[in-house]
Amino acid sequence: MASSSGPKPLSTPEAFVLGGLAACCAVTVSNPAEVAKTRLQLQGELVKDNSKRVYKNTLDVLVKTTRNEGIRGVQRGLAPAYVYQILVNGARLGFYEPFRQTTNSFIGLSPTEQNTATSVLAGATSGAVGAALGNPLFLIKSRMQAYSPSLPVGTQRQYRNSFHALSSVVREEGLRGLLRGTNAAVLRTAMGSSVQVPSYMWTKRQLVNRGILPAESFWTYLISSSVSGLFVLAIMQPTDTVLTRMYNQPTKTLPNGKIVGSLYRNPIDALWKIAKIEGVLGWYKGTAAHFLRITPHTSVISFSFPRIP
């Protein structure tokens, strides 16, 4: 007789691979929104009067970029984005359950119990691991997406491809250059991951347990992903803007030979300077594009968590 307990949970390697592959599908769709987000976040950097804007909104970025740079323009940074998503989402989905179950056991709860605090902690920890692993890829992806030969915003760096980008960073900034912004990346991804998986699972559970929608419904996945995307956007947007700025900022060499960013010392310094000069709303530049980018990536959770535990 078949077991009524549902399908066997995915192993950590299975969840890692499945999460990474699903994320690659999502990034193909969402990368144009990521390009728009990056350019909107860099527009008017540390400028009090931002009346002379290159781009009006997300749609304006996509239209102007397509017209001036073609499809290649709206898909800049796609190759490193694939590798980054495999690392980040693979780690996020692959390590989430082991971290959650281990934390549950450590504090005396059942490994299968869905506890909000341990779920948030597991999401934040797995996201931080992925962010640290993928930082060099996110760095070059952001710089490649910022580059525009026709309507530039922010510091411009022209890389031929991912390999040229990585070698250029090492040559110009040393190996430590590949770690630039890691602290902001870990903070950003930990904050987003702390609510992404738990909010998705909670929303899906409510829809099913209250009899609103069946577990395998397309609408269940869509609504759960959208709600989760809103949670992620609310908590992650300021640090996402900071990360883009820290990755793309110009650098300078100190008397001791150390190469550092010339605009921001760390994430807190960046948050303060942006708020002081551009206002708090400066943290939220590119929010609409960020939501369009987040939702497809939240949907990949449905590939790795097809049924509620």
pLDDT digits (tens, 9 = 90+) for 65-118: 999 999 999 999 999 999 888 887 777 777 888 899 999 998 998 888 888 888
Share of the chain above pLDDT 70, in %: 90
The residue among 185, 181, 158, 170 whose CA lies nearest residue 76 is: 158
> Using alpha carbons only, how large is the chain's radius of gyration in Å?
20
Per-residue pLDDT tens digits for 264-288 = 999 999 999 999 999 999 999 999 9
Q: Which two tokens stand for residue 83?
A: 């590798």
Reply yes or no on whether the pLDDT at 307 is more than 50. Answer: no
Per-residue pLDDT tens digits for 134-185 = 899 999 999 999 999 999 999 999 999 999 999 999 999 999 999 999 999 8
